[in-house]
Structure 1
Amino acid sequence: MSQTQVTTTPDTTDATIATVAEIVTFRLIEGTDPAAFITAARALEPMLKASGTVLSRTLSCDDTDTWTDHITWTTMAAATSTAEAMMADPLAAPMMQLIDPAHVTMRHAPIAYQQE
């Protein structure tokens, strides 16, 4: 008698269970010192760590001066609630003031695979 193997995949429609990538691309306001921006971005580390919902964060900048902020969140609900809290946190203001709002794109996607 053979056994049937059943494979299940996570229900990524449930905002409480799938890890989520938040990918934000943006440009800085013209004339902004990249080192000043990184310092302002790093000031958010304590708040993000205290949330307990950030698994990783990476900032990068390409040769067109387009920045990417890539955050891995524990869930979509965590991404949403922590982002709302961050926008209200005075520690976020210096970083946000250096970003050109006309050049911001944000998207979220459930993580299908992550290499450790």
Structure 2
Amino acid sequence: MSETPHTVAEIVTFRLVPGTDTVAFVHAARALEPRLRATGHVLSRTLSADPDGTWTDHIVWTSHAVALQTAGEIMADPIAAPMMQMIDPDHVQMRHAEIHYRQE
């Protein structure tokens, strides 16, 4: 039996560099939208913030392989630089989880 790719959730939690304007950060994060859409593999994306200042970028991808490949490409893309400069690198955690159920 051959394996079929499953959708994958990319969950990135982080904190912003102290003093970062949240409106500017959201604007910088939204600047990635055309790049993500161009992959044809992003099913959804949500950016949220907890009251304690922890942010979560949650992206649903068509497969784990595409998520990993695109993450590497985006890190090298100048369009991502403004967003990345606002994220505290000491407080970043990324994980990928296979989705077994998703309510529409």
Same fold (TM over 0.5): yes
- SS at 2:103 equivalent: coil
Mapped pair 1:86 → 2:74: yes
TM-score, normalised via structure 2 length: 0.96
Match of 2:18 in 1: 30
Mapped pair 1:65 → 2:53: yes
Higher RCO (CA < 8 A, seq sep 6+)? 2
Aligned residue type for 1:102: D
- SS at 1:71 equivalent: strand
Q: What's the % identity of the aligned pairs?
A: 67
Aligned residue type for 1:67: W
Match of 2:30 in 1: 42
What residue ranges of structure 2 are gaps of 5+ in the alignment?
A: none
In 1, distance between residues paired with 2:77 and 2:6?
26
Q: In terms of Rg, which structure is larger?
A: 1
Mapped pair 1:114 → 2:88: no
The alignment's C-alpha RMSD in Å is 1.2
Cα displacement string for residues 56-109 of structure 1 (whole angstroms, at most 9, x for unaligned residues): 000000100100000000000110111111111100000000000000011100
- SS at 2:56 equivalent: strand
In 1, distance between residues paired with 2:40 and 2:69?
12
The number of equivalent residue pairs is 103
